[in-house]
Homo-oligomer: A and B are copies of this chain.
């Protein structure tokens, strides 16, 4: 541990000036929370100058302002490229105030000028209808971390510095946020960082002791435990503790100097002496009172340094004594010494801000779309699986994709802007070809028998979906590209993170100065239909349902039925911007349907009739057999073959859906088919037997506005699973060929009477299947060896 020395690197004049900046930032923070007008208190404060509803979080704000100021000193003195990530919840008053003081806010939002009028706009908009939220958001200059839902600041920060050797992210972690699971494990990100080719994260644990209504765990363990914990996480903590501002400025200056010197030393050793051994990275633990510098008590009740300072310390301004207390509090920062008569920050204070893009709020990495360079994507046709005729060959879709991803990695390796991530599942998901051209990132201990671990690897694996997701988000938000694979059932672990990212994308799209970023791309594999071996706990196709609640413009769901369609889909996803793309595809050997030319055409439309499998040429079908997903497609085609055999006169149209959102109405989703197109595919009155990868009700939800919606009969996952065979999974959920045939017979008018023999054959076959599986533990050879013909 580096003890905080009692050195005094700052002159008395420095300290005085630092206090002025800090006072200005604190003053503007409080003004944002409380004031609707009269921002500089040039009139006596009256109730009508205050907001009708007091919102915002003072508690963490003075600490954030303090840190921002001290980071600015480092930038000025050392010409560093630093990003500020505010982990504590609802810290926007401070971040916005600081970015205003350094001028960025006025550059991005020209109406918020550097004068009294601008200040009035600044304070009014905060937590005000049509204004800005109380936490760092896409509207906040310099932010890549939404401070609404907590837990992701540190993984975002590491994501930002991967492949950005000159960038340092100062990540403030709140002691509330630190209790979340995602944050608790993300400290280990230092084992995945290359001091040579990556930048650095300086974590700053902000111990102010309280959450909304409770003390925090980390503030109430012994100093020994606290230091031990962070050393165990692999950091070298520097403690800065106190409440006297002048002393604290000196301590923090020493701590910052120490931390940045340590970073420089580590990076120098790695970059000049090639010593990439994992170092103990510095971190700062800052312990200050909650709501530092607010009234000690309000109505006689403890406030500063207590949970009552978490949000709004003075709550009822209709009480004259509260209004007076607010007035006194605001005046304690002496605004008249901070802003000139125009309401412009005094030049000597303003001079504490770095210049141009060195300002943390103007750092281009925080508006990553500006830095984004398109990936070089190899031509997918060169990776095509040969398909001599539909369904003839078998292929492992994700393994084929792996070859293409390998070359995406290879083509872009020199740009260092593409990473592949998985929660310890990259090989299990059969993307291992990527490891032919790069390694797994790993900077913990290695042994000579280790397999493709390297400090500069570009495949990221940790058994934490949260950390993978956080890294990827940070990487994308700073202008790079990525691809994450995951077992389908367990992607729900990051439901809430994808929510927040989708919301970020939607909001950023509404902020004029934010440039589009690369999409968040998921490959969900080891999916529900091939989790027969792992059983019920591994079976859940509901992530699709989850993402479809997000704003239509932002989300896409693809269900490519084979390898070539998967290749086309993956390319589309890596080319797209500002989206969350979900691809679901299996990793097991499955029949291949489309040659590359057909795959390209099919994926371009996203949905289409498979003429080669249909026999309704030139006329109306008796039934539409629709399918979405690889296993449902196979079962549908097997059902068609059975129907062709038993009921050769039946006119069947086969439709395959790759882009699930084509089913939705055009008014609901940009990919939605026009009604007349939909009707031309699905008819307006014929039964549609739909074999779907996920929960059946999702299809009903998508098509409820369509003319023929009442004739849709959807087969999908009915939450029935067990440890069983692949085909038995479909049988248990009625997605199998036999149940599909039975449903065709049930719903095509007049067919039942003609289909007695077929019905009996099907029923017999289901019984035979069940007995065979129970006895031999595998599927009937005719099922395993089935091919379309």
Which residues of A pack against B, CB within 8 Å? 36, 51-53, 55, 90, 127-135, 137, 146, 148-151, 176-177, 179-186, 188, 191, 211-217, 220-222, 224-234, 302, 306-307, 424-428, 440, 442, 444-446, 449-451, 453, 461-467, 489-490, 492-493, 495-496, 499-500, 503, 506-507, 533-538, 540, 542, 545-546, 549-551, 695, 697-698, 700-701, 704, 709-710, 719, 722-725, 728, 773-774, 776-778
Contacts and interface: CB of A to CB of B under 8 A. Distances in A.
B130 A776 contact: no
A298 B541 CA distance: 36
A390 B464 CA distance: 51
Contacts of A188: 179, 184, 217
Contact of A496 (B191, B234, B427, B495): B495
A550 B545 CA distance: 12
Given A150-B463, A184-B185, A549 B492 contact: no
Contacts of A493: 149, 495-496
A38 B731 CA distance: 30
A226 B426 CA distance: 27
A129 B776 CA distance: 9
Given A221-B234, A492-B499, 5 more contacts: A52-B778, A177-B463, A184-B185, A221-B445, A549-B719
Contacts of A216: 463
Contact of A225 (B185, B213, B234, B542): B234
Nearest to A492: B496
Given A214-B440, A229-B232, A302-B449, A534 B723 contact: no
Contacts of A724: 129-130
Nearest to A213: B427
Contacts of A698: 701
A453 B220 CA distance: 12
Contact of A148 (B183, B535, B776): B535
A534 B134 contact: yes
A227 B232 CA distance: 7
Contacts of A533: 53, 55, 127, 134
A589 to B, nearest CB: 14
Q: Which 6 A-B pairs have the closest CB atoms?
A: A229-B232, A148-B537, A181-B181, A133-B535, A220-B444, A184-B185
A690 to B, nearest CB: 13
A314 B535 CA distance: 22
A149 B537 contact: yes
B53 A778 contact: yes
A445 B232 contact: no
Contacts of A225: 231-234
Contacts of A499: 489, 492, 540, 542
A704 B695 contact: no
Contact of A451 (B148, B213, B230, B445): B213
Given A213-B427, A225-B234, A700-B701, A133 B51 contact: no
Nearest to A278: B221
A180 B155 CA distance: 13
A133 B537 contact: yes
A546 B180 contact: no
